[in-house]
Chain A
């Protein structure tokens, strides 16, 4: 899709005769190895000044490693990096920043306990002899916000912001330092469609000001929407590059995954009897405020109920209540007649609830513990594999091997720590763990956060199969496309209330769903417009 406002062609601004201007960023023959793993092999990249350049690829393709080297977090073993034609060596992010490169990470770049303003000016604070000049900070940050059209509450603590806001703070941080080149790492992973559009508008604004934007992603649709050029990586190598206009989706997919399967499917099972009944449920969220009020819904065997909503509108707290991590403040919830919502995860599990948390590393696995123990932790916790308190390790090993096989977890052995696996494989371990407990209700929060296309498809396959064996599945996702692809019904949360349930998902469009997410609840709308 050609963008009529394409400024990249002319942004270099040089019409003079002679050599074309050097690309803003160029990389040649870059190599990086970690131990025995070759993360980047002979990588070449050429980014035109003022363009939007997408780096496409699966997880483990080497994109993050490349970005880390561009930002000075890692040093290449071999190869050259050139900025505006000049070779550079980055010993630390300071050097990268000095060359006008700014990076926007998902989680690492911000300090949760500080305010947005403090985060943005961190490292380059305006001071009078060491004393912070707050007024000047405000003024300067406001100026950047106005210039680029991005706004955040300067005095809000970043730790309490939504992911989209946090990202904005990160972008502002880079812009505040005068970044001429902005690197965005999986920027839309946590955004709703509307937030995504705001981001893309912002990106276009940035390029109009001459900023070069480089972003890493695995989402093709977005690349087609906003990028000018692309470079595709697979297994540490570059498999193709060029301009988006001159390429096709199929070609890109082929470059990314070779011939692997990438289609997500919906569960095709007849809906059984209702197994989960929730009536007028209310749940308290963090900070004591009411996160869910008066929610009523039934979930049947064999169906996949997708929970849609702008992040922070209650879906997560709802699922956490069902998982037994938050108590019901009011109302009732029953699973096959047995009461849920007592706030005890052990009790919920004993009734047949399985739970996949949204944050893999923080709550989904014990990273330094071997796969075999992670994959059976829930069953051990409910008494499995043990007689008189003694664990049957050989039975555990056998079962773990079987599960790893069945769920296609790629690992060296089951004794390897789970933290060494890729995100996709880690998620498979978690799903294997939960599904193998034969639950009646499977709760999955953010099934494919941070995963690439192929891994996504495999996760969706597991969810579909689980539903087809009669499990009731409730999932929440900030990715509308994902919800539309795998849900048999979609419930929309807005300002803590369950405002709509869409029965015919096959006929639902992203625009309509997005609209419902914002529709009622003026607060949500106003917040979005800010």
Chain B
């Protein structure tokens, strides 16, 4: 077992090292945030307390944490997938909105039928697939930069979402942009009472495993990974590069679309402005925190979900304006990302050099390439 792990570059030592780094840094960042709150908030202790322990203080809060994390897991795995293929598609936000809109539009008509929630999710996936395929094809066949195209499509999607609700789905007596509530059969099932575990969490975990399997064990996933590692190589060795590019973006869109449908079908039970709630962009963060590795996405999603929920709670319970929490989140991410990719590497480098000095002294032969 150890040999298997060692061959894959995952020694027990290294895992321990990474975890140690993360703990140290998170602790440091939290101290900084506390200081920030002390300087600016009326009640820093309450705010920090809410931030740190809020999500677990109460079953309803845990429910929110789990729900947020499920969505983050979905958008996170969607983004991790495209990033692994070397495509910088930032379109999750728009795909979430389109998925929610498509599923909602359908469910408002067939919501009464039992099992319609499944159809809702499928339609969400289809809409997301299409919305992801557009920049995908533009890149694969037209070499159009995907950063720009997906960012533009996000805006288009969000405006279209608002337009569609206001124009077609808003009931006449509504004071703001919402749709009617979905009927019961359109709601996604949940487990338990307190806390309530949404099915979307299970769905997210399943999709994470599916993506991990796709990338590691299927031919299509292989081609995608090779394209992501070295596109010239992939093209020269006979792999289907163009297919990998657009298909990965489309599949990513599908997953994000499911996330959108899931939000509407689990939390809000209707379409409402701002439904995508930045989950798309946060999905990018989750993917990066997980270093684009599918199996680490749930961990990153739960951790970031905790932070997000904590922030919401801090805003509600202490007298801290939401924006301060947003700032604190930004600061924390800055610190965490520095540790993960940089200072940690320099530390390892230093340790290696010290170890190397010892090896150079000994007379034992080492393998020379």
A–B direct touch in complex (beta carbons closer than 8 A): yes
Interface centre among B229, B235, B368 (most CB of A within 10 A): B368
Q: Which residue of B lies closest to A61 (CB)?
A: B368
A-B contact count (CB 8 A): 113
A349–B238 Cα distance when bound, in Å, is 7
Tell whether, in the assembled complex, residue B229 and residue A381 are in contact, meaning their CB atoms are under 8 Å apart: no
Tell whether, in the assembled complex, residue B218 and residue A390 are in contact, meaning their CB atoms are under 8 Å apart: yes
A236–B236 Cα distance when bound, in Å, is 35
Q: Give the total of A residues in contact with B, Cβ under 8 Å.
A: 53
Give which listed residue, A33, A323, A349, A373, contacts B360 with CB less than 8 A: A33
A77–B361 Cα distance when bound, in Å, is 10
Tell whether, in the assembled complex, residue B238 and residue A382 are in contact, meaning their CB atoms are under 8 Å apart: yes
* Mask of A228-268 contacts with B, CB within 8 angstroms, 1/0: 00000001100000000000000000000000000000000
Q: Which residues of B178-228 have CB atoms within 8 Å of chain A's CB atoms?
A: 217-220, 222-223, 225-226
Tell whether, in the assembled complex, residue A381 and residue B237 are in contact, meaning their CB atoms are under 8 Å apart: yes
Give which listed residue, A77, A378, A393, contacts B237 with CB less than 8 A: A378
Tell whether, in the assembled complex, residue A38 and residue B236 are in contact, meaning their CB atoms are under 8 Å apart: no
What's the least CB distance linking B107 to chain A, in Å? 32
What residues on A are CB-neighbors of B291 within 8 Å? none
* Mask of B329-369 contacts with A, CB within 8 angstroms, 1/0: 00000000000000000000000100111011000011111
Tell whether, in the assembled complex, residue A390 and residue B368 are in contact, meaning their CB atoms are under 8 Å apart: no
Q: Cβ of A509 < 8 Å from any Cβ of B? A: no
Q: Cβ of A44 < 8 Å from any Cβ of B? A: no
Q: Which residues of A321-345 have CB atoms within 8 Å of chain B's CB atoms?
A: 323, 325, 345
Tell whether, in the assembled complex, residue B235 and residue A78 are in contact, meaning their CB atoms are under 8 Å apart: no
Q: Cβ of B14 < 8 Å from any Cβ of A? A: no
Q: Cβ of A421 < 8 Å from any Cβ of B? A: yes
Tell whether, in the assembled complex, residue B223 and residue A77 are in contact, meaning their CB atoms are under 8 Å apart: no
Interface centre among B8, B232, B237, B368 (most CB of A within 10 A): B237
A433–B360 Cα distance when bound, in Å, is 37
* Mask of A206-236 contacts with B, CB within 8 angstroms, 1/0: 0000000000000000000000000000011
Give which listed residue, B217, B233, B352, contacts A390 with CB less than 8 A: B217
Tell whether, in the assembled complex, residue A380 and residue B235 are in contact, meaning their CB atoms are under 8 Å apart: no
Q: Which residue of B lies closest to A42 (CB)?
A: B360
Tell whether, in the assembled complex, residue A77 and residue B236 are in contact, meaning their CB atoms are under 8 Å apart: no
A37–B219 Cα distance when bound, in Å, is 35
Assess A36 versus B359: contact at CB under 8 Å? Given A362-B232, A366-B230, A366-B233.
yes
Tell whether, in the assembled complex, residue B352 and residue A35 are in contact, meaning their CB atoms are under 8 Å apart: yes
Give which listed residue, B230, B357, B369, contacts A367 with CB less than 8 A: B230
What's the least CB distance linking A95 to chain B, in Å? 19
Tell whether, in the assembled complex, residue A323 and residue B236 are in contact, meaning their CB atoms are under 8 Å apart: yes
Tell whether, in the assembled complex, residue A413 and residue B7 are in contact, meaning their CB atoms are under 8 Å apart: yes
Tell whether, in the assembled complex, residue B359 and residue A366 are in contact, meaning their CB atoms are under 8 Å apart: no
Assess A357 versus B368: contact at CB under 8 Å? Given A367-B229, A389-B220, A415-B8.
no
Q: Cβ of A364 < 8 Å from any Cβ of B? A: yes
A373–B232 Cα distance when bound, in Å, is 16
Q: Which residues of A409-425 have CB atoms within 8 Å of chain B's CB atoms?
A: 410, 413, 415-416, 421-422, 425
Q: Give the total of B residues in contact with A, Cβ under 8 Å.
A: 32
Q: Cβ of B240 < 8 Å from any Cβ of A? A: yes
What residues on A are CB-neighbors of B355 within 8 Å? 35
Tell whether, in the assembled complex, residue A36 and residue B218 are in contact, meaning their CB atoms are under 8 Å apart: no
* Mask of A359-394 contacts with B, CB within 8 angstroms, 1/0: 000111111110001000110111101100111010
Tell whether, in the assembled complex, residue A363 and residue B229 are in contact, meaning their CB atoms are under 8 Å apart: no
Tell whether, in the assembled complex, residue A345 and residue B369 are in contact, meaning their CB atoms are under 8 Å apart: no
Q: Cβ of A292 < 8 Å from any Cβ of B? A: no
What's the least CB distance linking A32 to chain B, in Å? 8
Tell whether, in the assembled complex, residue A368 and residue B229 are in contact, meaning their CB atoms are under 8 Å apart: yes
A389–B236 Cα distance when bound, in Å, is 21
What residues on B are CB-neighbors of A366 within 8 Å? 226, 229-230, 233-234
What residues on A are CB-neighbors of B234 within 8 Å? 366, 377
What residues on B are CB-neighbors of A390 within 8 Å? 217-219
What's the least CB distance linking A292 to chain B, in Å? 19
What's the least CB distance linking A398 to chain B, in Å? 16
What residues on A are CB-neighbors of B218 within 8 Å? 386, 389-391
A391–B233 Cα distance when bound, in Å, is 20
Interface centre among B8, B225, B355, B359 (most CB of A within 10 A): B359
Could you list some 24 contacts between A and B, CB below 8 A? A33-B360, A35-B352, A35-B356, A36-B359, A37-B369, A38-B359, A38-B360, A60-B368, A325-B235, A345-B235, A346-B240, A349-B238, A363-B232, A363-B233, A363-B236, A364-B233, A366-B233, A377-B226, A377-B234, A380-B219, A381-B239, A389-B218, A389-B219, A393-B217
Per CB-CB distance, the 8 closest pairs between chain A and chain B, nearest first, are: A366-B229, A381-B238, A33-B356, A415-B7, A349-B238, A386-B219, A60-B369, A363-B232
Q: Which residues of B contact A (CB under 8 A)?
A: 7-8, 217-220, 222-223, 225-226, 229-230, 232-240, 352, 355-357, 359-360, 365-369
* Given A33-B356, A383-B219, A389-B218, 17 more pairs with CB closer than 8 A: A33-B359, A39-B368, A62-B368, A78-B360, A364-B236, A367-B230, A369-B225, A373-B226, A377-B237, A381-B223, A381-B239, A386-B218, A390-B218, A391-B217, A413-B7, A415-B8, A433-B237
